[in-house]
Structure 1
């Protein structure tokens, strides 16, 4: 992976991929470590470039994950249908590194910069210095993979100390089963941690698997993004269960025409 970014804050450790969080004596933590250290058994035996109909990885994915020209996300594929997850070719595959099914594993694009947002109440954000076409892989949202119990403790501590909460909860559904992965890049993470929420985002998060069962939280542009624009995505569900939950939500500062007024929050 080619990732040459770093944090300006020396208190934040830079990692280019997810890592297991601090040790816990629990089944959930053991599952994280087990999945992190295991690998996908599926791999292809393609020569140089993979093609649909013959590549085992693309067959497992149900269709081409990316448009081969420009290596952009295939929006014709139902990325929400986990009967066909996005699985890239991995280190066991015989295809070349220039195969069109190797995108996220190569690392983030090189035109990203962290700077203070126009609305200073938002703090820092991630911006692009170059034009980004629709469907382009931007970067991962990488950090510590933690258990629900650890997430609840950190969330409570963040609220007590009035600190920013970076915890992202991915819920996937396949054949009636919920798969959950929680990532926290607050103290250990990559450049993706600086991306702000928007109710009208220009990017989306897509789970992408490469070498092991744990997905990478891959951020792709869903529209053309012009130089100087802030990179944004929707943090999660915006459904409000009751008045107390609404009261506990933070005010949304995205300033979009579709702003719902409150930040989304998913349960761990």
Structure 2
């Protein structure tokens, strides 16, 4: 039996470099409160405008920067080994000793290098053919329409950047049937304080909000800083991905044995639940052999 696929209007409304297709019909009510934005915007509790250029630029005056001399490729006096190769692919998924991703600083608007510099990837935006489609039991999902080599930047998880108290308020206001898109990213810098970033694409967001959780994902997330100290939550291919594969990442922050940051999100409501205190953990339907049976649940935002 043949399968008829119906592609209606583009999801991204012309705001991305490449149109994002949407498979199947969607009711007007479903998107009546959703505003598409390809990048993060400043929300309640965020003291820094993510769109404002606040990071200094490098003094490189070349077509492409050199790793040994570019200040954007050095972090806290040490060369940042996690960088892009000549194809714009992330070369390193994390530190094998600590298990955490090293920070990525791209060249920005104040840099002297050219727009073709190899250290400009996430800032160029979406470059792959993607499609949002209805899954059988996990709400909306996203698949690729073309092959994606390992290390390739796929998309951002963009939305409102909000503060801790606002994230707490929004989560407490949610009902059991409400989708929770808030993601909390925690970065560690040695013995220094933990840096927290909260992104909520519920009302304003990009295509990243349609990515489902998997206990065996094919994407991993890395905080990438371009113009601002506010990181962009960039998702990269953790392995070679074939056309028509669903794109997923681990909401708890893990990828294989090298978690990059701590984070968690609740997703589409399920029909079953297991109580965790006053909250309910929602079942995971990823189908992976190592499935933990329940979606990750971050209680730190609610317990503090």
Q: Which residue of 2 aligns with 1:254?
A: 286
TM-score scaled by length of structure 2: 0.76
Q: Deviations over 1:33-91 (max 9, x none)?
A: 33634611242323111111121211237235434231100117639657x52100000
TM-score scaled by length of structure 1: 0.85
Q: Does 1:168 align with 2:174?
A: no
**8 Å Cα contact 1:116/1:124 also seen in 2:** yes
State the alpha-carbon separation in 2 of the partners of residues 56 and 75 from structure 1.
Answer: 19
Runs of 4+ displaced beyond 6 Å: none
What does residue range 4-23 of structure 1 map to in structure 2 within 5 Å? 4-5=18-19, 9-22=31-44
- 1:93 paired residue number: 111
- Which of 44, 51, 54 lines up with 2:69 in the alignment? 54
Gaps of 5+ in 2: 1-14, 255-261, 263-274
CA distance in 2, matches of 1:225, 1:210: 26
Q: Quickly say closer, same or farther: Cα 1:127–1:76, change in 2 above 3 A.
A: closer
Deviation at 1:97? 1.2
Instruction: From the two aligned structures, give the one with the greater helix fraction.
Output: 1
Structure 1 runs not aligned, ≥5 long? 23-28
Structure 2: distance between partners of 1:76 and 1:231: 17
Q: Secondary structure at the match of 1:33?
A: coil
Tell me, in whole angstroms, the C-alpha distance in 1 between the residues paired with 2:16 and 2:66.
25
1:208 alignment partner, one of 203, 224, 227: 224
Give the RMSD, CA atoms, in angstroms: 2.7
Aligned partners of 2:120 and 2:90: how far apart in 1? 11
Aligned length: 254
* CA distance in structure 2 between the partners assigned to 1:231 and 1:248 by the alignment: 26
